[in-house]
Amino acid sequence: MNVTLRLCSSVLAEVRADLARPHPHAWERVGFLSAGASAAPGELLLTVRGYLPVADEDYSNAPDVGAEIGSEAFRKALQWAYRPRSAVIHIHTHHGFGRPGFSSVDLRSGGQFVPSFFATTPRLPHGMIVLSDDDATGLVWLGEDRAPLPISAFTQVGPIYRHDWRAP
């Protein structure tokens, strides 16, 4: 299945600016995207509706990982995505250039928390994305008990249309 994530360039700029802010004790920041979903045979399009940053007080002090957020951050994200019902996508950055990869901690923790999103909005896909400074990688779950699929394409719309997030 081909999975495409589409978002406005202004939302991507908002995400990048928020994730670049320093935090008092976390090494990195995280946030959530909400998205609508439409499907056709062999195709899934996720259209980003908005971005929700994780509040400073919702980060746990966990020096062994880049960032750890508590249950309150997840509750806020799921409540925010409940009306209108939206896909929930966890997003963070590893900076650098080129195609980023998920760390083993990202994959392990995401494999636990992303499927839990289906309790709130069971008929929508959910996922996670990691950004670099010029690219992205993502995974999407189509069901609580299904293996994730890679996001095949990232499309940025705005003053300049880009099929991917790399600078021209």
Q: Where are the alpha helices (DSSP H) in the chain?
A: 9-20, 71-80, 104-116
2-157, what's its fold?
Cytidine Deaminase; domain 2 (3.40.140)
- Give residue 165's pLDDT band: very low, low, confident or very high (50, 70, 90): low
- Residue 53, pLDDT > 70, answer yes
Residues sharing a CB contact under 8 Å with residue 140, sequence separation 6 or more, in sequence order: 3, 44, 46, 89, 125, 126, 127, 148, 149, 150, 151
- SS3 label, residue 116: helix
- SS3 label, residue 60: strand
Of 11, 29, 4, 8, nearest in space to 95 by CA:
29
DSSP character string of 133-165:
SS-EEEEEESSTTS--EE--EEEEESSS-BSSS
Flag whether the pTM goes above 0.85. Answer: yes
Question: What is the per-residue pLDDT for 168?
Answer: 40
- Residue 60, pLDDT > 90, answer no
Residue type, 22: P
- Give residue 80's pLDDT band: very low, low, confident or very high (50, 70, 90): very high
- Give residue 146's pLDDT band: very low, low, confident or very high (50, 70, 90): very high
| CA 20 to each of CA 14, 53, 98, 112, 133: distance values in angstroms, whole numbers, following the listed order | 10, 11, 17, 26, 10
- Give residue 22's pLDDT band: very low, low, confident or very high (50, 70, 90): confident
- Residue 10, pLDDT > 90, answer yes
